[in-house]
Amino acid sequence: MKMTGNPVESGNIAAIIKQLGGLSSKLELANDQSPESKLYSFIPIASRIVVDLNLLEYIVNHDKAITSEELASLSGGEALLITRLLRALASVNFLNQVGEEVWQATPVTKAMASEGISAGIRVIGEMVAGAASKAPKYLKEAGYSCPTDPHDGFMQYALQTKLTSYQLFNSIPRVQKDFNNFMGNTLGARKMWLDWYPIEELLNGAVPDSALLVDVGGGKGHDLVAFHKKYPNKGRLVLQDFAIDTIGDLDPAIEPMYYDFFAEQPVKGVLIFISPPSPIPHLFDARLCFNTLGARAYYYHHILHDWSDYKCLEILKHVRDAMKPGYSKLFLHEMIIPETGASPIYAMLDITMMCFNAGMERTERQWRAVLETAGFEVVKVWPGPEVGSDGMVEAMVKE
Ligand SMILES: C[S@@+](CC[C@H](N)C(=O)[O-])C[C@H]1O[C@@H](n2cnc3c(N)ncnc32)[C@H](O)[C@@H]1O
């Protein structure tokens, strides 16, 4: 992503924070900073314990500041343990310490206490960070190259399984529930694609009765729900996921569909015959027929970043086969990492994807390479409107 102009003038908070970080590292002595940075790996662990004890909720729901003793009697944890954990989190501004063993919520604490973010802290802490701790050993044994096989990545090594991370999550209901809740809340306060993508380009030219938008791997359907809210009754909305039975209640405007995206895409153009077959065998079939179109758009939000290139090519083959050239659009709603100077959120999410499912966040050059190999033509790349937000890669079948 190209950052233009002065971030202070443009109000780009993430860019300002990044510049302040750069400035502080110049001011600190290198040999002070490097030992400190090694200690930060405990922050996700402390966050997870604090979430397990519901401490953030207690702090947020308490009208005024709250003591460690009060938190101990509410949570059942030891006051000394609570003080030590909260002190660590206050040191990185996740909450305020307003006195000796006295704590107060900030907007960050409120966000962390919300259901979606707490679910994310649990699932990342338990599954992904656990796998990450085994990465050095895995890489030493495997010869220091990025994992690409989802049956043989860090998670599989750490947990001694050959299931992909998704199959594994799916087999543990509480983890799957947390994951679905987390996925509904990954954008935070950032803008959605519906706030900046020219939706009329999707709606204009869409053929009534064919599906308008298929959300592939759409989780609990939050993106289609938002679409329907902003653009009601514009066409069929189809939600596909292989964990469709775990999503709970769904808006009746959306069609749920079980689908494994490593198999043939069922929402596709088909020939429909509207006259009987010829009575003469082997005669050229000249029956009256029409061709349905497949969907106007297939939308993949945070899907391909979970997979290495060769798995992306398998996924893309199935959607390409279902798409009507010149009509169907492919949307990849993903982070587009700048080629240089990536912000921590992009860089850290990339490593998270490596740990999670041998996946990868990609730069524009890398997205174009995968799509071109898969037989697509990139129509346009939309960088996310803010640092840390998702962009869009729009493509069509190469004719
Ligand atoms: C990272 S989540 C993204 C969810 C949603 N699109 C979003 O952006 O919030 C990936 C989704 O892909 C689904 N998934 C994983 N493997 C799948 C497969 N083989 N076929 C279909 N869905 C799959 C998961 O169940 C999950 O809902």
On average, the pLDDT of the chain sits at 87
For the purposes of burial, counting CB atoms within 10 Å of the CB of 277, is it exposed (0-12), middle (13-18) or buried (19 or more)? exposed
Tell me: pLDDT of 104 over 70: yes
Strand 376-382 versus strand 391-397 pairing type: antiparallel
88, 113, 138 - which closes a domain: 113
Q: Which residues are catalytic?
A: 305
**Same domain, residue pair 258 and 197:** yes
- Reported as a pLDDT band with limits 50, 70 and 90, residue 180 is confident
Residue 4: per-residue pLDDT: 41
Asked if the structure places residue 1 within a domain, the reply is: no
- Atom 19 of ligand 1, residue of closest alpha carbon: 260
**Higher confidence at residue 38 or residue 4?**
38
- Atom 1 of ligand 1, residue of closest alpha carbon: 302
**Same domain, residue pair 178 and 317:** no
Q: For residue 343, how many other CB atoms are within 10 A of its CB?
A: 19
- Give me the domain span that covers residue 175: 126-183
**Same domain, residue pair 345 and 366:** yes
Closest atom of ligand 1 to 169 CA is 25
Residue 321: per-residue pLDDT: 95
pTM: 0.84
- Reported as a pLDDT band with limits 50, 70 and 90, residue 138 is very high
**Same domain, residue pair 350 and 213:** yes
Closest atom of ligand 1 to 246 CA is 25
**Same domain, residue pair 246 and 306:** yes
Mean pLDDT across 323-328: 94
**Number of domains within the chain:** 3
**Same domain, residue pair 214 and 316:** yes
**Higher confidence at residue 283 or residue 41?**
41
CB within 8 A of 70, min separation 6: which ones? 58, 62
- Atom 27 of ligand 1, residue of closest alpha carbon: 219
CA separation for the pair 32, 141 (Å, rounded) = 32
Closest atom of ligand 1 to 170 CA is 25
CA separation for the pair 330, 333 (Å, rounded) = 10
Closest atom of ligand 1 to 305 CA is 1
Compute the distance from residue 217 Cα to the ligand 1 centre, in Å.
4
85, 113, 141 - which closes a domain: 113
Coil vs helix vs strand at 347: helix
N-terminal to C-terminal alpha carbon distance within the chain: 29
- Reported as a pLDDT band with limits 50, 70 and 90, residue 199 is very high
Asked if the structure places residue 119 within a domain, the reply is: no
Residue 345: per-residue pLDDT: 87
- Atom 6 of ligand 1, residue of closest alpha carbon: 218
Residue 263: per-residue pLDDT: 97
Tell me: pLDDT of 37 over 90: no
**Same domain, residue pair 53 and 163:** no
Compute the distance from residue 215 Cα to the ligand 1 centre, in Å.
10
**Same domain, residue pair 92 and 156:** no
The per-residue pLDDT for range 366-396, each reduced to its tens digit, is 999 999 999 999 999 998 888 778 999 999 9
Tell me: pLDDT of 11 over 60: no
Compute the distance from residue 25 Cα to the ligand 1 centre, in Å.
38
Residue 40: per-residue pLDDT: 74
Mean pLDDT across 167-173: 93
H or E stretch at 71:
helix 68-75
- Reported as a pLDDT band with limits 50, 70 and 90, residue 34 is low
Ligand 1: list residues with CB < 6 Å. 166, 183, 186, 217-219, 241-243, 259-262, 301-303, 306
**Same domain, residue pair 167 and 265:** no
- Reported as a pLDDT band with limits 50, 70 and 90, residue 189 is low
